Every structure is written in structure tokens, then in C-alpha cells.
Structure 1
């Protein structure tokens, strides 16, 4: 897993760099670089999370009967991440995608605990 984690660190550093550039020099190019690099971080974290936690779940399933809850939380969190990527106008002028993402993560804490 070490090369995957190092790659994630580089992708994250790249995103932070372009975010800093965008917030100091707001141009069309820096805005696109900021959003594209942030999307790369989200997609790489989805990959890293699925590989790390789902692989662990599969390996430990025979001796830990409750490991299905961990796998369910990982998959549901990744599904909720789509709310961050697929932004939409607020429902009833209150609930936007980000608010629904926060609301959706509440029951997952209980399941994971």
C-alpha cells in the first residue's frame, strides 16, 4: 500500500498547490486547475479507500463476522461522495448537495460504531 499512499500524497500536494495559486490569482485557467486537481484528489481517495478498506474486509471476513458493517460503511460513504461531485441547486432553497452529504453521514457513524 505504500506506493498508493505516496501517490495520494503527491496528488493532494498538487491540489493544494493549485488551490493556493487559484486563490491568489483568480483566472479561468487557475480555476480549472483548482477544480480538476480537487476532483483528482476525490477520485484517488475513493480508489484508496476502496482498495484499503474493502481489501481488509475481504481478508478478515472469515474470522470477523461483523466486518460486513465496515464494508457497508465504505461503500455508502463512496456513494455519498457523489453528492459532492454532482452538485445541484438547493431543494426548497435549503438543502443543497453538500448539506445532504452531511445529513447522509450521520447514520453511518452508528453503523460503523
Structure 2
């Protein structure tokens, strides 16, 4: 990523690149954005974002759990968006890709 890009722009670029029907952890987004160890920064950037086309719903805790409080409006919205993309959500949790999976392989794998 270009040196001049802000951290927010780098995080947004990684999230925009996540294909429909896939999920990623906050920490994996941070690492791909060149910000290893900055999962909380990813969460903060997402919480402050008002970018309507950003697929924020594809970013979850490393455990696969939705970060919003259960039954909150955002929890419900995230669950609905994930299900609309064919992602199975059970008890507020999604099965995450196996650890060690190359994010580039996930993002750019042929269909």
C-alpha cells in the first residue's frame, strides 16, 4: 500500500476487497492493511465510518463472534446482512476461515 495512504484508507481498502459471502477478523484486516497488532484500530475505524458502501458486516472477532451486544439493532443488522450473503450465523457466531489461511488466497481465489 502507498506510504501516503492514511491508516483509515488502508483499512477501508482491505474491507472493500472482501468478497461477498466471506468474513475476516479485525486482526486479519489490520495485518493485511500493514498494521499488524492493530485490531482495535480496525474496530474504531469501522465504528466511526459513515461510508455507506463499506461491507463492515464481513468483519468479526477472531472467534467468529459478532462484536455488537446480542439483540442490539446493529447485531441484528449484521446477522441479517451476513445471512443475505449465504453465511451461516448461529448464536451470534460465524465459522471463521482456518487459521493460517492466506487472506490473499481468500480474496483472490477463482470462483
Say yes or no: TM over 0.5.
Answer: no
Judging by fraction of residues, say which structure has more helix: 1
Q: TM-score, normalised by structure 2?
A: 0.24
Q: TM-score, normalised by structure 1?
A: 0.23
**Which protein has greater RCO, CA pairs closer than 8 Å, 6+ apart?**
2
